[in-house]
Amino acid sequence: MALSKPVRTIWDIPREERFAPGHTMCQGCGAAIIMRHLTKVIGKDAIIVQATGCVEVTTTAFPRTSWLNPWLHLAFENAGAGASGVEAALKALKRKGVIDPNRKIKVVAIAGDGGTFDIGLQSLSGMLERGHNVMYVVYDNEAYMNTGIQRSGATPLGAWTTTTPVGKKLRGELRPKKDLIGIALAHRIPYIATASPAYPTDMVEKLRKAYETEGPSLVHIISPCTPGWRIRNEDSVKVARLAVLTGMWVLLEIVNGKPRVTVKVPKRKPVREYLRLQGRFRHLTDEEIARIQKMVDEYVEEINRWVGEQAIGPVEG
Amino acid sequence: MSLTLEKKEERKELRQVVSKRIAATGNYAAALAVKDADVDVAAIYPITPQVQIAEKIAEFVANGELDAEVIHVEGEHSALSAVVAAAATGARAFTATSSQGLEYMHEMLYIASSLRQPVVMALATRALSAPINIWNDYADAFGMRETGWIMLFSENVQEVYDNLVQAFRIAEHPDVLLPVVVTLDGYILSHTIEPLEPLGREEVLSFAPKRPRGYRPVLDPDYPITVGTLGTPHWYYEAKYQQVVALRESKRIIEEAGREFGKKYGREYGLIEEYMMDDAELAFVSLGATASLVKAAVDRLRKEGIKAGMIKLRVLRPFPVDEVVKALENVEAWATLNRTISYGAAIEEPLFTEIAAALAVRGIVKPMASFVHGMGGRDIFVREIVEMYKKLDEIRKSGRKVKRTYFWGVKGHDPEEDQAM
Amino acid sequence: MSIKDEGFKRYLGKKYPETWRDMPIAAIVPWPGNTAEVKTHAWRTIKPVIDQDKCIRCRLCWTFCPDGAILEVDEEYKTSSGRVFKISYKVDYDHCKGCGICAAECPVNAIEMVPEER
């Protein structure tokens, strides 16, 4: 059974594990935490369609699987199309009486940032635009981690990756992250949210709402990657929390186009605190950090304007 | 309003009366087969020259004549992804494409067959870019030979319909579980109106029955399976060998379907079709609508007293090797005629290499040649095929070895020039 | 959606296969969650040890564990100061990879990461 009542405290998260251990995800993997909670939320009656990526390869090496749900992986760029196909099939088979029309079976697509922001964007757009009843979950570790840390459209400004190396002329990623929420928003879908595994109650409640949504929903979750972000294994939750506390990652919920910040941050921490824990930002000079700080300041301002309140406050003195 | 309704009813009745034999294009025949097969999910995307298949399916659904979910995908890669996923959920699923669209979904062709999903696809054969060309040749179809699909070629509009009906039965057969593609020559069949005898839904569903959910593994919360796993070097090879065996063994089911189709509806289908082969001395192997032209050439040659014959490959995959070898065993010389090029290959016409290899491993070596013509919709005239037969006759008589493919009909090119290379 | 026809079972192969013949069709895995049979303890160099007396049963370690290796069990525990808890947290040492998130996130420092002895 899917999680049906609102999640207000950590104790509302179901105890039952629906994501088996023994997978080969890294020590301290943020995506593994996300998958555990996602599967708790969706319960038994959900069919998962997963894009190629870390989570896919580390959980399904034949003859083993970490999944308890029916699960389908086709390729890298087509989680949206695959989910559309499963959803359409369920619809047709229910209408024709092959499957009990009263049984609720949700389709859940899972993809990383590469499979969503880049190669899978077209397929995602098609799925959102056609209005399929699919919940799409993005675990965003901000680079192609499965192939060994190459930059993606989700890589943040300044970050080192193996394809945005720190050299004499160029120093890390040159462009800020692509605005996935803006893209989802442009499709006018009923439910969009951002989440962080460091805020489990907020994340699980958003996953639940996305699950309950009739029509397409998208939950975009920051997913710290210990080898890719060059962080200590035990720091992945801490980093996911600092992303929120510095205003780099705002916890949003957009229901039918109406935005709301779900976790307010009255006093922001300087971005330096987030950046300094991560080896991928180690090369940044004070000047470069100031540039990122300015970018985040502008972003926070934009969010506050959008939600119509000072949800995220100024940097603490 | 009531007047219109009445008229509609009338028209409907009329349609039923004439439905025994109608005039239809290949595209319409394909859409009709999809309707009669009661497809559950169809992913559609326009590409010339298959676009009317998509249009007609949408029309059938819009009129309530077909109860299917139509997915208006945003590209062919998603088209095949969606129908593979739909099939994995237990639906009868269909899509159609052509040329660039097939290339765009190429990655998914392998995934469809290796996940053993019984999707059915119509392919209006068309040349590949560049230069961009919307007319017929078999470059697209031949590009998918290695993808693990069952491939049926159609010679005429009736065969498009019949092949598709059989395709659903073959693909979903418990001993097969493989995707099937049915070709129709772009424009030559897709847009040409020919007589068609559709069977109607009742007959089609009795010939190609929908099997109960659960006869094969599907995505179902009551029996969760993980599909699309990571195949490490420990198990990947074994999975591939299973596919080899599955495709090999599908031959039996294809033959059985063709035989039973003949018994029930009077049109029997084999893996190959032999035309005037009983006493043939010279034989050409061809496929698709091109086979009709070769048949016409055979008729002319026979009038001249030349013992010509023809073999039509209805099934390209699994290759009907025993049938082709048997048919060619007693001829004095053989050749292939194809509308595709295998660039840089030892022999640049790919049918030839397969047949020559099949004969050679059985110790059968006789005068042989290969011909390419009709690329990108270039007309092949019957008189040209007659000339090709005469070329083969000359090769037989002279005993000379033809080491290269004859590129017939290229402006300013003498096909013999290549032999000197 | 109960599956009435169980014909699909012919495609499921043998758990676990030894040859191509007894491998499930299309390399599917019809054994949900069977990675649980795989022990991942050899990954770790340090291991968490929970001080049941210090533990306040806040559930955070359980929440943040990437490997589901903190088990929440209905075992009553009475601390040395006399406080009674209805549940306890235990480490699944078969699957704990020793990342240390539990120790880092514990608000009362009730989890210590100690060197793994082999």
Domain ranges of chain C: 36-115
Instruction: Tell me the average pLDDT across B242-265.
Output: 98
- Report yes or no: C115 at the A interface, CB cutoff 8 Å: no
Chains in touch with B (≥3 Cβ pairs < 8 A): A, C
Please tell me the predicted confidence (pLDDT) of residue B420: 84
Beta-carbon separation of A234 and C104 below 8 A: yes
Q: In chain B, which residues have their Cβ closer than 8 Å to the Cβ of C12?
A: 217
CB pairs under 8 A between B and C: 78
Which domains, from first to last, does chain A contain?
16-307 (3.40.50.970)
**Beta pairing class for B406-407 and B368-372:** parallel
Is 0.90 topped by the overall pTM? Answer: yes
Confidence of residue B16 (pLDDT cuts 50, 70, 90): very low
Claim to verify: residue B216 and residue B334 sit in the same structural domain:
no
Upstream peptide bond of A63 is cis (omega within 30 degrees of 0) = yes
How far is B94 from A64, CA to CA, in rounded Å?
A: 31
> Does residue A11 contact residue A73 with C-beta atoms inside 8 Å?
no
Claim to verify: residue B136 and residue B27 sit in the same structural domain:
yes
Mutate to test the interface with A, among B39, B210, B230 (most CBs of A within 10 A): B230
Give the whole-number percent of chain A exceeding pLDDT 90: 98
The minimal CB distance from A65 to the residues B77, B229, B232 is found for B229
How far is B138 from B337, CA to CA, in rounded Å?
A: 11
Instruction: Tell me the average pLDDT across A227-231.
Output: 98
Beta-carbon separation of C36 and A21 below 8 A: yes
In our burial notation (b when 16+ CB lie closer than 10 A, e otherwise), range A81-117 reads: bbbbbbbbbbbbbbeeebbeeeeebbbbbbbbbbbbb
What is the CATH number for B365? 3.40.50.920
Please tell me the predicted confidence (pLDDT) of residue C118: 78
> Does residue B330 contact residue B312 with C-beta atoms inside 8 Å?
no
Query: Per the domain annotation, does B9 fall within a domain?
Result: no
Please tell me the predicted confidence (pLDDT) of residue A1: 65
Please tell me the predicted confidence (pLDDT) of residue B421: 76
Beta-carbon separation of B238 and C23 below 8 A: yes
Query: How far C82 CA sits from the closest chain A CA (Å)?
Result: 24
Residue B396 belongs to what domain range?
A: 272-419
How far is A160 from B218, CA to CA, in rounded Å?
A: 43
Claim to verify: residue B235 and residue B335 sit in the same structural domain:
no
What are the C-alpha distances in Å from B393 to residues B335, B368, B414? 10, 10, 18
Residue B9 has pLDDT above 60, yes or no: no
Q: What is the largest CA-CA distance in chain A?
A: 65
The minimal CB distance from C35 to the residues A21, A28, A236 is found for A21
Query: Per the domain annotation, does B7 fall within a domain?
Result: no
Instruction: Tell me the average pLDDT across A48-68.
Output: 98
> Does residue B60 contact residue B17 with C-beta atoms inside 8 Å?
no
- Report yes or no: C107 at the A interface, CB cutoff 8 Å: no
Place of tokens 């969760």: B224
How far is C94 from C107, CA to CA, in rounded Å?
A: 25
Beta-carbon separation of B81 and A96 below 8 A: no
How far is A36 from C61, CA to CA, in rounded Å?
A: 13
Please tell me the predicted confidence (pLDDT) of residue C2: 57
**Beta pairing class for B69-72 and B272-275:** unpaired
What are the C-alpha distances in Å from A286 to residues A272, A278, B127, B173, B216? 9, 15, 58, 67, 61
Contacts of B270 (CB under 8 A, 6+ apart): B255, B258, B314, B323
Q: How many CA atoms lie within 13 A of B363 on its CB side?
A: 0
Beta-carbon separation of C4 and B214 below 8 A: yes
Please tell me the predicted confidence (pLDDT) of residue A14: 97
Place of tokens 């996305």: A210
Beta-carbon separation of B72 and A95 below 8 A: no
Beta-carbon separation of A100 and C1 below 8 A: yes
Mean confidence (pLDDT) of chain B: 95
Instruction: Tell me the average pLDDT across C50-69.
Output: 98
pLDDT in tens, B297-329: 999 999 999 999 999 999 999 999 999 999 999
Please tell me the predicted confidence (pLDDT) of residue B272: 98
- Report yes or no: C100 at the A interface, CB cutoff 8 Å: yes
Please tell me the predicted confidence (pLDDT) of residue A317: 78
Instruction: Tell me the average pLDDT across A26-34.
Output: 98
Q: In chain A, which residues have their Cβ closer than 8 Å to the Cβ of B68?
A: 92
Claim to verify: residue B258 and residue B296 sit in the same structural domain:
no
Instruction: Tell me the average pLDDT across A223-236.
Output: 98
Neighbour order of strands in the sheet with B150-153: B69-72, B41-44, B93-97, B120-125, B180-185, B150-153, B315-317
Q: In chain B, which residues have their Cβ closer than 8 Å to the Cβ of A47?
A: 89, 219, 221
In our burial notation (b when 16+ CB lie closer than 10 A, e otherwise), range B363-377 reads: eeeebbbbbbbbbbb
Beta-carbon separation of C7 and B174 below 8 A: yes
Q: Does domain C36-115 have CATH number 3.40.50.300?
A: no
Instruction: Tell me the average pLDDT across B216-227.
Output: 97
Torsion of CA A62, A68, A74, A77, to 10 degrees: -120
Claim to verify: residue B219 and residue B296 sit in the same structural domain:
no
Has the ipTM of the complex gone over 0.90?
yes
Upstream peptide bond of A227 is cis (omega within 30 degrees of 0) = no
Claim to verify: residue B73 and residue B206 sit in the same structural domain:
yes
Claim to verify: residue B212 and residue B343 sit in the same structural domain:
no
Q: What is the largest CA-CA distance in chain C?
A: 62
Give the whole-number percent of chain B exceeding pLDDT 90: 95
- Report yes or no: C18 at the B interface, CB cutoff 8 Å: no
Q: Which residue, B265, B286, B318, sits at the end of a domain?
A: B265
Nearest CA in chain A to C101: A234
How many domains, chain B? Answer: 2
Claim to verify: residue B229 and residue B276 sit in the same structural domain:
no
Instruction: Tell me the average pLDDT across A230-248.
Output: 98
In terms of C-beta density within 10 A (0-12 exposed, 13-18 middle, 19 or more buried), how is residue A57 classed? middle
* C4 or B285: which leads in pLDDT: B285
Query: How far C20 CA sits from the closest chain B CA (Å)?
Result: 5
Claim to verify: residue B53 and residue B175 sit in the same structural domain:
yes
Residue A172 has pLDDT above 80, yes or no: yes
What are the C-alpha distances in Å from B342 to residues B138, B347, B351, C59? 11, 8, 10, 64
Upstream peptide bond of A154 is cis (omega within 30 degrees of 0) = no
Nearest CA in chain B to A73: B228
Claim to verify: residue B102 and residue B232 sit in the same structural domain:
yes
How far is B43 from B49, CA to CA, in rounded Å?
A: 16
Residue B255 has pLDDT above 60, yes or no: yes
Claim to verify: residue B122 and residue B227 sit in the same structural domain:
yes
Claim to verify: residue B77 and residue B186 sit in the same structural domain:
yes
Residue B11 has pLDDT above 70, yes or no: no
Residue B18 has pLDDT above 80, yes or no: no
Residue B17 has pLDDT above 50, yes or no: no
* C48 or B19: which leads in pLDDT: C48
